[in-house]
Amino acid sequence: MSTTTPIITVSGLTKKFKDLVAVNNISFSVLPGEIFAFLGPNGAGKSTTIKMLTTLLRASSGTINLNGFDPIIQPYQVRQSFGIVFQDHSLDDDLTAYENMHFHAVLYKVPKAVSTQRIEELLKMVELWDRKNDMVKTFSGGMKRRLEIARGLLHQPKVLFLDEPTLGLDPQTRNHIWNYIINLNKENGITVFFTTHYMEEAQKVAGRIAVIDHGQIVAQGTVAELEQKTQTDTLEEAFLSLTGHEIREEAGSQLDRMRRMKRLH
Amino acid sequence: MSTIYILWLRQIKRYFRSKARLIGSLGQPVLFLVALGFGFGPVFEKAGGGSYLQFLAPGIIAMSILFTAIFAGMEIIWDKQFGFLKETLAAPVSRLSIMIGRTLGGSTVALIQGILVLIIASAIGFRPVGLAAVPLALVFMFLIALLFTAFGTAIASVLEDMQGFQLIMNFLVMPIFFLSGAMFPLSGLPKALTIVAALDPLSYGVDGIRASLVGLSHFGYFLDFSILGGVVILLMLLGSYLFSKIQI
């Protein structure tokens, strides 16, 4: 047994929406300083799990411990412990980059003297300092992502959650973003938990991977362990061997409708 | 406290930055004031009602506050769909302070909109009985703003998307406006209409503004203030409760 206590411990976690079981009795743990990936097809339950870990959804059953706190009993301590980059953009488009950062600093009660300095450092890190007074609506998808990462780090969280952080970005930008994250992990020892359905990302970035499908973890371990377990040579083969070849339909096009409406607006 | 302040500030900044919306939402009240105020003026005067513009302006001020406030409250739907709400809900602050900050921000915006309409109305001939009356009118205007921002928040908390928005506008917001006595005196109406108007909280808001600015009152200050205040408290509680139940 390892002597370090895990920073995230999940056991028997289940989430039901009416008759749909989105997450079905999953258990895993993540050690401090690890980069842990949730790999799974669309609709596997990745985002639902992240929402439960980040206090946005209540689990139907099971327990979560994050940085020593329980999201149900100590939501504020849990929220103070993590930074998050959501799958969909969560910036205010009508505020500037700096204002979005400042808003976050106030919500997380980062003292003014500290926040001024950290906002500058972080915006420089993601190379947005010279655009700090521009409205976020003028930013590209990649710039918004970089700003969200900077914002997620502002209150110096122990854990950084990234829900499909590179979805819809070009390969150059994806590469760029992963470089920041890997550097952060190396230099500050921040624990990174991300979800993806890009196999090469999981392979390249994650120390350990949990493969999730139909709400259940079907396998977890390092890339080598997963390949060994399925007796395959690549992570892709291992993944397909674990989750099958059938194509998944993603539920709910409601958000797409809203996006169209907003464009017309 | 800082949470409430920063959420309030966000609403104010967004309001002043979207110039198109600011000017666009002044178009309708100005049209109503000019077309109805001058159009019905002669008839109203012949019927012995005095100047129609004097009568109408408080109603139109209330209308612009109603629309702006409802819309500000319902902006939560956009934030819900486009992610910004997650940023606030995942932060270590209470939902109550988020709700209060947003509601105060939306109400302030609606109040400013009402003041702009008051200024425009004065420019085209509306005359308050005295400047001393203005602060009291502002109190009523702010109560209307609070009431309907909280109402919008409550609605937005249970709606999934903007699909229901037209429904709310046509079957809730428009009736609230048209049946409130904003455009016609409440005395001598058919019984059914009298009852409906008495159940409409905006009636008391319009009456309160009209009482303070023009000196015409149907219900009396005290009743106006108590009913508005009571409904504001009820809707703030309801809004906070529904907002606290949002899961995304």
The predicted complex's ipTM stands at: 0.87
- If you measure CA to CA, which chain A residue comes closest to B161? A258
Q: What is the pLDDT of residues A73-97, one digit of tens each?
A: 999 999 999 999 998 889 999 999 9
Mean pLDDT to the nearest integer, A49-70: 94
Question: How close, in Å, is residue B242 to chain A by CA atoms?
Answer: 15
What are the beta bridge partners of residue A60? none
B19 touches chain A (CB under 8 A): no
CB A82 within 8 A of CB A64: no
Token pair 């939402």 is found at B25
Give chain A's mean pLDDT: 88
Q: Which residues of B touch A86 (CB under 8 A)?
A: 83, 86-87
Token pair 């990174």 is found at A192
Nearest to A25 by CA among A228, A258, A212, A222: A212
* Domain region containing B191: 2-244
Beta carbons within 10 angstroms of residue A108's beta carbon: 20
A146 touches chain B (CB under 8 A): no
A224 touches chain B (CB under 8 A): no
Q: What is the pLDDT of residue B53?
A: 93
Among A residues 27-86, those touching chain B with beta carbons less than 8 Å apart: 51, 54-58, 75-77, 79-80, 84, 86
Beta carbons within 10 angstroms of residue B161's beta carbon: 15
Q: Which two tokens stand for residue B31?
A: 């049209």
How many distinct helices (H) and strands (E) make up chain B?
Answer: 12, 0
Q: What is the pLDDT of residues B116-132, one digit of tens each?
A: 999 999 999 999 887 88
CB A243 within 8 A of CB A41: yes
**Maximum distance among all alpha carbons in chain B?**
62
- If you measure CA to CA, which chain A residue comes closest to B80? A90
Are B160 and A254 an interchain contact pair (Cβ–Cβ within 8 Å)? yes
Mean pLDDT to the nearest integer, A42-49: 88
> For the residues of chain A, what is the DSSP string, one character each?
--SSPPSEEEEEEEEEETTEEEEEEEEEEE-TT-EEEEE--TTSSHHHHHHHHTTSS--SEEEEEETTB-TTT-HHHHHHHEEEE-SS--S-TTSBHHHHHHHHHHHTT--HHHHHHHHHHHHHHTT-GGGTTSBGGGS-HHHHHHHHHHHHHTT--SEEEEESTTTT--HHHHHHHHHHHHHHHHHH--EEEEEES-HHHHHHH-SEEEEEETTEEEEEE-HHHHHHHHT-SSHHHHHHHHH-SPPPPPP--HHHHHHHHHHH-
Mean pLDDT to the nearest integer, A238-263: 63
Distance CA A179, CA A126 (A): 10
For chains A and B, count residue pairs whose Cβ atoms are closer than 8 Å: 77
CB A108 within 8 A of CB A155: yes
pLDDT over 90 for what percent of chain A?
A: 62
Q: What is the pLDDT of residue A173?
A: 84
Number of domains in chain B: 1
pLDDT band at residue A1 using 50, 70 and 90 as cut-offs: very low
B159 pLDDT above the threshold of 90: no
B171 touches chain A (CB under 8 A): no
A254 pLDDT above the threshold of 70: no
CB A13 within 8 A of CB A63: yes
Q: What is the pLDDT of residues A155-183, one digit of tens each?
A: 999 999 999 988 888 888 888 889 989 99
Q: Which residues of B touch A95 (CB under 8 A)?
A: 10, 13-14
Domains and CATH numbers, chain A: 8-264 (3.40.50.300)
Across the interface, of A79, A91, A94, the residue whose CB is closest to B92 is A79
pLDDT over 70 for what percent of chain B?
A: 100
A2 vs A142, which has greater pLDDT? Answer: A142
Among B76, B86, B109, B247, which would you mutate to test the A interface (most chain A Cβ atoms within 10 Å of its Cβ)?
B86
- If you measure CA to CA, which chain B residue comes closest to A75? B92
Mean pLDDT to the nearest integer, A22-44: 92
